[in-house]
Amino acid sequence: MKKIVLTVVTLLSLSMTATATENRSEYLAMDVNMNSLARTLSLTVDQKREVEDIHNNFCSEMRKAEVADDAERMTLAREALKKDIKKLSGVLDRDQMRMYLRLLNITFVNRGVNFSE
């Protein structure tokens, strides 16, 4: 139940104001240094492998959202985010998931991406 509440809070806190960023083609890019992420989240070797696979899929879906037209862009990004959170919640423990969501939230806020409707 806490994971669901945490997910909802995160999605709501990532409100969407599609501000005009100068580098609009990369504001949804989610490429990260996997070694740094693994170290920050204290991932095991198996978790790192699984997180890397899930994150690569997430990046691919976010790239598709990036090139979509304005009407679909945020819908596709929201769907990619929901899938990412759902998949990772089965791999990460509670504390790791909380830290991951914090990092994700900070990344989106810094890029001016808001997911509220």
Quick: pLDDT tens for 20-70.
334 444 556 677 788 998 999 999 999 999 999 999 999 899 888 888 887
Q: Are the CB atoms for 14 and 59 separated by under 8 Å? A: no
| Nearest C-alpha neighbor of 27 from the set 40, 18, 15, 39 | 18
User: What is the identity of the amino acid at 96?
Assistant: Q
**Tokens found for residue 31:** 């490429």
In this predicted model, which residue has the larger pLDDT, 111 or 106? 106
The answer to whether residues 6 and 97 touch, using CB atoms and an 8 Å cutoff, is: yes
What end-to-end distance do the CA atoms of the chain give, in Å? 23
Q: Are the C-beta atoms of 47 and 77 separated by less than 8 Å?
A: no
